[in-house]
């Protein structure tokens, strides 16, 4: 019999030391910003950690012999990508992993390509490490009614950035904030363009396990030999199983030359040591989490359906790009024609919703916000009610 998990349960996270709630000074707001979910981490993950706590000694951890084979089995089962255990290495977070990779392989002043609107650390990490950015903005795609339906990569623009001497492309696959599962065709073209010039692709695949109905995540390194040869892939159970605070992620690097450079840096600095709880949580999630993951995704999909229907019926001037993966929704508020600061103030002070300001993803995010729907439906409903309520008193009407 398949066990049913409950995603409707409202858990009070305030005072738990979580950034999503406890970093917000205002009390009466609904936080729907940073990318973790309000669902309980599954009990089989908690049980594994509790069991380990029965032994009261918390000295250094040893990675179990079946750690990487468990991860490899999960990756192959989910994405059909066969990875060798030798290609993998623990990383204490993907943003850190990107930083380590840049530091291990580039010099100050080297050029890094990003494709905004995109997850803010893609900009901040290269700049913070003294590298230069080449920006290749995504191309917005509109439907027949003039509504934004998604983005394509600008492959000509990518070629131009490569011609300008870029060393690395940092790519979000699936894409945050627009939730795009990049197509095989696009990824093959990226591999063609970058590999000819020896540009390495860092493929951040943290949302890979969360492809929604009708969509499939394609690991970048799996699309061609060239892609495998010139890439570093980052994956994690952290978004899927809501364990970002436990810090568990891993790099996959098929090319031994790249591995020597990157893993050499990681090993020299002893970055490849997971904490005891990171090991326990990852193993439990990947061994026992298939059904929980499916049910969680169905619930998130239900939230997106609810959101889309609610907006259409009640606030049609607010539009969304329907995500193909994960629980983050790119919301287009450009119809309101408000300056970004006024828009954010209206949402926070009048609607009492804390959302991610679209401009943190790049200037291409002007007029947008990112909404996190990884929450019980009743909270989403409450938030949408607040949004609709200000519609009468504000330019939202
Ligand atoms: C694309 C992307 N990469 C990385 C991260 C953060 O990963 P980590 O906490 O492992 O650094 C996030 C979190 O929202 C993300 O969306």
Work out the mean pLDDT of the chain and round it to a whole number.
96
Ligand 1 atom closest to the CA of 34, numbered from 1: 14
240 lines ligand 1 (CB under 6 A): no
- Stretch 58-82: mean pLDDT: 97
* pLDDT confidence band for 255 (50 / 70 / 90): very high
* pLDDT confidence band for 187 (50 / 70 / 90): very high
Decide if pLDDT at 233 tops 90: yes
Decide if pLDDT at 382 tops 90: yes
Distances (CA, A) of 249 to 92, 152, 187, 268: 6, 28, 23, 18
pLDDT for 269: 96
pLDDT tens figures, 113-168: 999 999 999 999 999 999 999 999 999 999 998 999 999 999 999 999 999 999 99
Decide if pLDDT at 393 tops 90: no
119 lines ligand 1 (CB under 6 A): yes
- Stretch 173-202: mean pLDDT: 98
Q: Which of 17-21, 146-150, 373-377, 390-394 has the lowest mean pLDDT?
A: 390-394
Name the token pair of 95: 């943003």
CB neighbourhood size of 351 (10 A): 22
178 lines ligand 1 (CB under 6 A): no
Bridge partners (DSSP) of residue 368 are 332
- Stretch 305-312: mean pLDDT: 97
In CATH, what number does 57-288 get? 3.40.640.10
CA-CA distance, 242 to 178, in Å (whole number)?
20
pLDDT for 238: 97
Kindly report the pTM of this predicted structure. 0.97
Measure 110 CA to ligand 1 centroid, in angstroms: 23
CA-CA distance, 368 to 256, in Å (whole number)?
42
CA-CA distance, 225 to 219, in Å (whole number)?
13
Measure 356 CA to ligand 1 centroid, in angstroms: 14
* pLDDT confidence band for 205 (50 / 70 / 90): very high
Determine the number of helices (DSSP H) and then strands (DSSP E) in the chain: 13, 15
pLDDT for 27: 85
**C-alpha 39, offset from chain centre:** 17
244 lines ligand 1 (CB under 6 A): yes
19-43+290-391 classified as CATH 3.40.50.150: no
pLDDT tens figures, 316-360: 999 999 999 999 999 999 999 999 999 999 999 999 999 999 999
DSSP codes joined into one string, 135-192 = E-PPEEEE-TTS-EEEEE--HHHHHHHHHTT--EEEEESS-TTT-----HHHHHHHHH
State whether the Cα torsion 97-79-323-308 is positive or negative.
negative
* pLDDT confidence band for 244 (50 / 70 / 90): very high
CA-CA distance, 203 to 213, in Å (whole number)?
22
Residues of the chain with CATH 3.90.1150.10: 19-43+290-391
CA-CA distance, 343 to 349, in Å (whole number)?
10
* pLDDT confidence band for 396 (50 / 70 / 90): low
CA-CA distance, 252 to 302, in Å (whole number)?
32
* pLDDT confidence band for 204 (50 / 70 / 90): very high
pLDDT for 390: 83
CA-CA distance, 370 to 207, in Å (whole number)?
15
Contact 387, 353 (CB under 8 A): yes
Measure 103 CA to ligand 1 centroid, in angstroms: 18
Atom 14 in ligand 1: residue holding the nearest Cα? 35
| H/E segment holding residue 77 | helix 67-79
Long-range contacts of range 343-348, CB-CB < 8 Å, 24 or more positions apart?
A: 343/367, 343/369, 344/369, 346/390, 346/394, 346/395, 346/396, 347/387, 348/26, 348/29
Residues of the chain with CATH 3.40.640.10: 57-288
């Amino acid at each position: 019999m398949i066990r049913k998990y409950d995603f409707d349960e409202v858990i009070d996270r305030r005072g738990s030391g979580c950034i999503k709630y406890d970093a917000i000074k205002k009390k009466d707001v609904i936080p729907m910003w940073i990318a973790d979910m309000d669902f309980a981490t599954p009990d089989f993950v908690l049980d594994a950690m509790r069991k380990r706590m029965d032994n009261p000694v918390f000295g250094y951890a040893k990675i179990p012999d079946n750690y990487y084979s468990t991860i490899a089995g999960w990756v192959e089962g989910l994405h059909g990508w066969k990875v060798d255990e030798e290609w993998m290495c623990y990383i204490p977070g993907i943003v850190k992993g990107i930083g380590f990779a840049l530091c291990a392989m580039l010099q100050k002043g080297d050029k890094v390509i990003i494709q905004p609107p995109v997850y803010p650390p893609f900009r901040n990490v290269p700049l913070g490490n003294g590298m230069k950015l080449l920006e290749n903005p995504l191309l917005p795609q509109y439907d027949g009614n003039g509504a934004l339906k998604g983005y394509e990569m600008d492959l000509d623009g990518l070629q131009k950035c490569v011609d300008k001497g870029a060393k690395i492309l940092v790519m979000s696959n699936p894409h945050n904030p627009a939730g795009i599962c990049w197509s095989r065709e696009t990824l093959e073209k990226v591999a063609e363009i970058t590999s000819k010039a020896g540009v390495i692709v860092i493929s951040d695949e943290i949302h890979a396990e969360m492809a929604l109905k009708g969509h499939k995540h394609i690991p970048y390194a799996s699309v061609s030999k060239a892609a495998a040869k010139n890439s570093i892939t980052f994956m994690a159970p952290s978004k899927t199983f809501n364990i970002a605070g436990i810090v568990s992620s891993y790099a996959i690097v098929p090319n031994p030359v790249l591995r020597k450079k990157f893993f050499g840096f990681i090993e020299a600095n002893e970055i490849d040591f997971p904490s005891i709880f990171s090991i326990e949580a990852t193993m439990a999630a990947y061994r026992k989490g298939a059904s929980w993951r499916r049910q969680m995704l169905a619930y998130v999909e239900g939230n997106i359906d609810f959101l889309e229907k609610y907006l259409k019926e009640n606030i049609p001037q607010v539009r969304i790009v329907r995500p193909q993966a994960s629980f983050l929704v790119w919301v287009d508020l450009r119809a309101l024609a408000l300056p970004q600061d006024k828009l954010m103030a209206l949402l926070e002070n009048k609607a009492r919703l804390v959302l991610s300001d679209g401009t943190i993803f790049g200037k291409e995010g002007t007029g947008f916000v990112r909404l996190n729907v990884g929450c019980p439906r009743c909270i989403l409903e409450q938030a949408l009610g607040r949004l609709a309520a200000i519609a009468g008193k504000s330019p939202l009407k």
